[in-house]
Amino acid sequence: MDIKEKLVEIFKTRASGPFLFVGSGFSRRYLGLEDWKGLLERFCVAGNPFEYYVAKANGDYPTAANFLSKDFNEYWWKSDEYKASVTRFKSKIGDQTSALRIEICNYLSTLDQTIAKTSKYAEEVRLLSTLNVDGVITTNWDIFLEQIFPEYKVFIGQNELLFSNPQEIAEIYKIHGCATRPHSLILTDKDYEKFNEINPYLAAKLITLFVEHPIVFIGYSISDPNISSLLRAISSCIGKDKIEQLRRNLIFVDRTYENEEASISDTYLTIEGIQIPLILIKTNDFIPIYQAIDVTKRKIPTIRAGEIIRARKKTLCC
């Protein structure tokens, strides 16, 4: 059985439609956006290479970002390169990390989103824009997903999701912040400390979604620490005896190596001694995955979904 057929079979056994869980590899694939290291390297303008900050942080990237932000703050205020930006955003500066956050967001806002539509992945992007997914969860900061799904309501950051009433229909949950709000970015070690403190509450908020919906992870390594921490928190909420409820609901898409054949299989991810069941897809061609999602129509009442989307269209227009 090929990837599309196997996924269609899985999706049809679920009461609710799929969610996408999107990571940085998604934006690298379609926009050519740098990975986290490459993104931070763009702002090493104060004389020290990024490796200096990584060494100072003992290899921890969020801590390196914190050290970088301090040097960047000094450079930003004094350099002619950012003179116009200082004039525009100086009233928005809240601490020594603000300048770096602002310029990261300025850079992300300049990305040419049409790149994806004219790249070798143009057909994948076309299929993506027509998908009938119930929603998207992402740790990405860029706004590519909002452009793919313009009618979806966006929740930015943990707090906005925790203290709102999401419908789990036509929604995007940007749990690490968004380029439209520089202060929302989960960037430094202190940001991650706060995020991890709230993570169990976020997991509790998302637990129904993970139990009822197939979750398709795209753009992540299967060992990504962001995913591991969230799955660990969700597993704690569910309990070891009920972890099998996640079987066939967690679907990881992992790119193949050169000359490696595409495949789909049942496997386990072990996190702190807990074995979490999941489906692992290995492929460089995402079209069968998107086709399978497209074949599986949303299982909520069409009238309800239509009413929600029409209401959001009206809000956007007015």
Rounded to an integer, what distance in angstroms lies between the CA atom of residue 204 and that of residue 318? 34
Cβ(174)–Cβ(156) under 8 Å? yes
Q: Token pair of 199, please?
A: 């993570």
Domain coordinates in residue numbering, the chain = 3-32+114-317, 36-109
pLDDT reported for residue 303: 41
How does pLDDT run across 31-65, given as a tens digit for each residue? 999 999 999 999 999 999 999 999 999 999 999 99
- What percent of the chain lies above the pLDDT cut of 90? 62
How does pLDDT run across 270-301, given as a tens digit for each residue? 887 888 889 999 999 999 999 999 987 655 54
Rounded to an integer, what distance in angstroms lies between the CA atom of residue 248 and that of residue 141? 28
Provide the β-strand partners of residue 275.
270
Single out the residue of 49, 14, 27, 248 nearest to residue 121, CA to CA. Answer: 27
Phi, psi of 28 (to 5 degrees): -65, -40
pLDDT reported for residue 5: 93
Rounded to an integer, what distance in angstroms lies between the CA atom of residue 304 and that of residue 317? 20
pLDDT reported for residue 271: 83
pLDDT reported for residue 230: 85
Residues with pLDDT less than 50, the chain: 301-306, 308, 312-313, 316, 318
